[in-house]
Structure 1
Amino acid sequence: MDLNVWWLAYPVLGAVVGFFAGLLGVGGGGIMVPLLTTLFVAQGFPFDQVVHMALGTSMAGIVLTSMSSLRAHHQHGAVRWDIVMGITPGILLGTFCGTFIASRIDTLPLAIFFSAFMGYVSLQMLINVKPKPSREVPGLVGLSAAGAGIGGVSALVAIGGGSLSVPFMTWCNVKMQHAIGTSSAIGLPIAVAGTVGYMINGWGAPGMPPYTLGYIYLPALVLVSAVSMAMAPVGARLAHTLPVPVLKKIFAGVLISLSLKMLHSLLG
């Protein structure tokens, strides 16, 4: 099949990512990485690079969506900028270094780590885990250390960090709506540092297809992002009419299924 024909799949993926992002307030990495990996394998892209390309492309896509989410939460006064300022240095360092670690991990172990983490995220959704507030927000050193850990894991699984930063802030006695809003702001430095890191680490990698910028596959990035940004408001509007708790459980099942499909395509 001609490569340009495969590009028709990317707007469909963008519609799904944008819809669920608006409906459930979740990032698209859990959907994008396994589906992009499967599409890249089907297109015959270098096997050793397909997961890295999916991670880099997903991370680049988060830049635009996190900017939109950040603006919306800031307008509602839900962003704790003191936390953002304190945690960002660690976020930038952890995410950037995390891309170097990811680039040195083989495709299959990286896919297994991603799938295991998506299993953790899905379990959070299924049982609706909310850590009990047990301490206050730490100082600069503590925030930087937490940011480095959140950023490092986010780089390995191409997420905006919400599944880690929201529980962390809730644990630190930050109100849930502020934790979610602040997490959206933290997603931007994660996305920027991750994008730069995956561009650098993929630069000059052997056998890469045309239209790549490091590990970022530009056709997928442009087509997925354009449609997902248009669909996010549709999902947000439906969030007030659809049974979101039920949909979260369905979405958790979808994440697990997609991760297993990715592993099957790689093992196959």
Structure 2
Amino acid sequence: MTHMHDPAWIAALAAAMAVTGLVSGTLAGLLGVGGGIVIVPVLFNVFPLLDVPEAVRMKLAVATSLATIIPTSIQSARKHRAKGAMDVPLLRSMIPSLIVGVLIGTVIAVWVRGSVLTAVFAVISLLVAVNMAVTGLDYRLRETFPTGAPRHALGSAIGGVSAMMGIGGGTVGVPLLNLFGTPIRSAVATASAFGIIISIPATLAFIGAGWGNPLLPPFSLGYVNLVGVALITPTSMLATPWGVTLAHTIPPLLLKRAFAVFLGITAVRMVWSLIG
């Protein structure tokens, strides 16, 4: 862990984390993704500088990302709701199934190898990117979001996959909501609140699961690295309002295509890391 005692390296890490926070915060407001779609790959590549063993690297990235999402999601959701775009009744109806999914996904995430989480991250990101890139703005499987068991199944899937990926729920939630009749802007606004529901219990679970693990680097609370949280959180919160403003000024179809581009780039980077 000698790198952590080098002032030049610490300064470089601080700068990198600050930039990561600015980018992820902007994306949180713009796309409702909670920023994790950017934070996880960046942390996955930064943690080797701390000599973090490969066995815990991805779990550390996922858990740290989830911890940074908590305040950013709260800020993003509040601002989207203030603009009147959030579907509050739909959100409330999905809370129980989202939580169930988070608990299941987190249990799986802490037991499987880190490479499995990397693969899940890459595959889901690629599928969502393709969907958002090839479907039109008004493409729907149906005009209204399903009720009953199908709604709970979708909520559980969103919660479970998001917990395993270290994301706020928008990456999976936005395209699913849009696919089932929710206008893209409303989908982004509603999914921004998914991040609150997903990140809090998942973060707590990752803290407990990693508690006392001797492979974790200094300044870690379970699988959550406090250095990453301290550097990313304030800059991402600063940038979130920029993304919210952009979300309400950019043409909806352009917003959808931008979402696809970011996810596609992320998927390619993660697949490359597995091959390498």
Question: How would you bin the TM-score normalised by the shorter chain?
Answer: 0.7 to 0.9
Report the residue type matching 2:92 in the other structure: M
| 1:258–1:87 distance in 2 versus 1, CA, 3 Å | closer
Distance in 1 (CA, whole Å) between partners of 2:206 and 2:172 is 21
| 1:248–1:182 distance in 2 versus 1, CA, 3 Å | closer
| 1:222–1:59 distance in 2 versus 1, CA, 3 Å | same
Which residue pairs with 2:230 in the alignment?
222
Report the residue type matching 2:105 in the other structure: G
Distance in 1 (CA, whole Å) between partners of 2:268 and 2:177 is 30
What's the TM-score once normalised by structure 2's chain length? 0.83
Asked if the contact 1:15–1:228 (Cα under 8 Å) also holds between the matched residues in 2, the reply is: yes
**Are 1:61 and 2:68 an aligned pair?**
yes
Which residue pairs with 1:191 in the alignment?
199
Which residue pairs with 2:108 in the alignment?
101
Which residue pairs with 1:182 in the alignment?
190
**Are 1:161 and 2:169 an aligned pair?**
yes
User: CA RMSD, aligned part only?
Assistant: 2.8
Q: Could you tell me how far 1:104 is from its partner in structure 2?
A: 1.5
What residue ranges of structure 2 are gaps of 5+ in the alignment? 5-9
Q: Could you tell me how far 1:210 is from its partner in structure 2?
A: 1.3
Report the residue type matching 1:2 in the other structure: H
Q: Could you tell me how far 1:115 is from its partner in structure 2?
A: 1.2
| 1:242–1:98 distance in 2 versus 1, CA, 3 Å | closer
Match of 1:49 among 42, 56, 60: 56
Report the residue type matching 1:56 in the other structure: A
Q: Could you tell me how far 1:153 is from its partner in structure 2?
A: 0.8
Distance in 2 (CA, whole Å) between partners of 1:134 and 1:255 is 24
**Are 1:127 and 2:134 an aligned pair?**
yes
What are the Cα deviations for residues 14-45 of structure 1, in whole angstroms up to 9, with x where unaligned?
A: 12222333445543112111110010123210
What's the TM-score once normalised by structure 1's chain length? 0.85
Distance in 2 (CA, whole Å) between partners of 1:248 and 1:79 is 17
- What is the number of equivalent residue pairs in this alignment? 268
Which residue pairs with 2:94 in the alignment?
87
Q: Could you tell me how far 1:208 is from its partner in structure 2?
A: 0.8
Report the residue type matching 1:222 in the other structure: A
What residue ranges of structure 1 are gaps of 5+ in the alignment? none
Report the residue type matching 1:113 in the other structure: V
Which residue pairs with 1:2 in the alignment?
3
Q: Could you tell me how far 1:149 is from its partner in structure 2?
A: 1.3
Asked if the contact 2:63–2:224 (Cα under 8 Å) also holds between the matched residues in 1, the reply is: yes
Distance in 1 (CA, whole Å) between partners of 2:258 and 2:94 is 32
Which residue pairs with 2:7 in the alignment?
none
Distance in 2 (CA, whole Å) between partners of 1:23 and 1:83 is 20
Asked if the contact 2:99–2:156 (Cα under 8 Å) also holds between the matched residues in 1, the reply is: yes
Q: Percent identity?
A: 34
Which residue pairs with 1:207 in the alignment?
215
